[in-house]
Amino acid sequence: MNRIISVSNHKGGVGKTTSVVNIGAGLANHGRKVLLIDLDPQANMTISYGLAESDNHIYEAHSNGNGLKPISVRENIDIIPASVNLSEAEVELKVEEGAPNPISELIEPIKDNYDYIIIDCPPSLGLLTLSAFAASKEVIIPIQPHFLAVKGLAKIIEVVNNIKATVNRQIEISAVFVTMYDKRRILHKDVLDTIIMYFDDRVFNTKIRANIALAEAPAVGQDIFEYDKHSNGAFDYGKLVKEVIAMEDKFGN
Ligand SMILES: Nc1ncnc2c1ncn2[C@@H]1O[C@H](COP(=O)(O)OP(=O)(O)OP(=O)(O)O)[C@@H](O)[C@H]1O
Ligand SMILES: [Mg+2]
């Protein structure tokens, strides 16, 4: 089994990194071998796992020709860290038909070591994100139920379709889910209805509620299951991970 997933939404602060960290941790707790790639020069995922920013990032591995050197951070979890210097890659990357994709090339020799490779994308649809899409089989989109959130969805769908038509026929938006959800807010329910209209059965049943423990855990370098396994955050991500695992039959090849 081998799933390569980009977690992406060009809107900032919607819970991408929080989701990569905690879905990764949840999968590892279920015995899956997971590689998490931090593709955001903000390096939030790297820092959330208690690592320092590092120039041992994915583009450096490409430039120096040494290949990826994943860092083991927990049982079943390895990480490729990021640093602010990763932004320099953006100028040099090319994502077009026929052009080699450094991320695919770097992943290829190590991909069979993992059940899941999950890429934390930056909040843009720039070349870093496009090259992640070019290397992925799936895109999973976390959405904050905000008035303008739905507007942005049309754009990301268009970009994924473009990638599918040109450099990567395999790619699919396999799932979307809402984060920082508050069921008492009518707007949140309305936005969820619209998301279901767009994505139908690809919307996860699990909604990630707003939960302060999710915001606190990265400050001490822990995932939510380590930080507070009784929190709503641990409950919600625990449930979401089961939905991710349930898709293995369909997307695991
Ligand atoms: N369910 C939640 N409840 C409360 N706070 C949350 C939740 N999910 C994320 N946060 C907090 O919201 C902020 C943004 O989350 P996160 O960094 O995961 O978003 P992001 O989409 O990766 O952001 P960026 O676009 O900057 O990469 C962080 O401070 C995070 O701790
Ligand atoms: Mg992030």
In this model, does residue 253 exceed pLDDT 80? no
- Reported as a pLDDT band with limits 50, 70 and 90, residue 220 is very high
Compute, in angstroms, the gap from residue 18 CA to the centroid of ligand 2.
Answer: 7
Find the domain containing 123 and state its range.
3-251
Please, what is the Cα angle at 223 between 117 and 125, to 5 degrees? 45
pLDDT of residue 100: 87
Distance CA 88, CA 108 (A): 23
pLDDT of residue 15: 97
Query: In ligand 1, which atom is closest to the CA atom of 123?
Result: 25
Tally of structural domains, the chain? 1
Q: What ligand is nearest to the CA atom of residue 9?
A: 1
Distance CA 24, CA 17 (A): 10
pLDDT of residue 216: 98
What's the whole-number average pLDDT of the chain? 93
Distance CA 238, CA 243 (A): 9
Which CA distances in Å does 26 have to 99, 135, 235, 243, 247? 35, 23, 11, 11, 15
Task: For residue 8, give both structure tokens.
Answer: 């992406």
Compute, in angstroms, the gap from residue 105 CA to the centroid of ligand 2.
Answer: 24
> What are 224-238's pLDDT values in tens digits?
999 999 999 999 999
- Reported as a pLDDT band with limits 50, 70 and 90, residue 151 is confident
Cβ proximity of 89 and 61 under 8 Å: no
Distance CA 53, CA 248 (A): 32
Which CA distances in Å does 190 have to 54, 146, 149, 175, 194? 41, 10, 12, 19, 6
Task: For residue 204, give both structure tokens.
Answer: 């996860």
Pocket-testing residue among 6, 7, 11, 17, ligand 1, by greatest number of atoms within 8 A of Cβ: 17
Q: What is the CATH number of the domain that holds 177?
A: 3.40.50.300
Query: Who surrounds ion ligand 2 at CB < 5 A?
Result: 16-17, 44
Q: What ligand is nearest to the CA atom of residue 18?
A: 1
- Reported as a pLDDT band with limits 50, 70 and 90, residue 89 is confident
Instruction: Please name the residue whose Cα sits nearest to atom 25 of ligand 1.
Output: 12
CB count within 10 Å of CB 174 equals 18
Compute, in angstroms, the gap from residue 96 CA to the centroid of ligand 2.
Answer: 25
pLDDT of residue 60: 85
Compute, in angstroms, the gap from residue 44 CA to the centroid of ligand 1.
Answer: 10
Compute, in angstroms, the gap from residue 41 CA to the centroid of ligand 2.
Answer: 9
Distance CA 27, CA 242 (A): 8
- Residues lining ligand 1, CB < 6 A? 12-18, 40, 42, 44, 123, 179-180, 208, 210-211, 214-215
Instruction: Please name the residue whose Cα sits nearest to atom 10 of ligand 1.
Output: 215
Which CA distances in Å does 162 have to 19, 104, 127, 159, 165? 25, 18, 13, 5, 5
Compute, in angstroms, the gap from residue 209 CA to the centroid of ligand 1.
Answer: 12
> What are 6-63's pLDDT values in tens digits?
999 999 999 999 999 999 999 999 999 999 999 999 999 999 998 988 888 888 888 8
Cβ proximity of 44 and 53 under 8 Å: no
Task: For residue 163, give both structure tokens.
Answer: 């990638």
């990764």: which residue's tokens? 24
> What are 97-145's pLDDT values in tens digits?
888 899 999 999 999 999 999 999 999 999 999 999 999 999 999 999 8
Task: For residue 113, give both structure tokens.
Answer: 């070591």
Q: Which long-range contacts (CB under 8 A, 24 or more apart) does 231-235 make?
A: 233/22, 233/208, 233/209
Contacts of 229 (CB under 8 A, 6+ apart): none
- Reported as a pLDDT band with limits 50, 70 and 90, residue 169 is very high
Compute, in angstroms, the gap from residue 166 CA to the centroid of ligand 1.
Answer: 32
> What are 198-216's pLDDT values in tens digits?
899 999 999 999 999 999 9
> What are 67-85's pLDDT values in tens digits?
899 999 999 999 999 999 8
Contacts of 190 (CB under 8 A, 6+ apart): none
Pocket-testing residue among 9, 18, 23, 120, ligand 1, by greatest number of atoms within 8 A of Cβ: 18
pLDDT of residue 1: 83
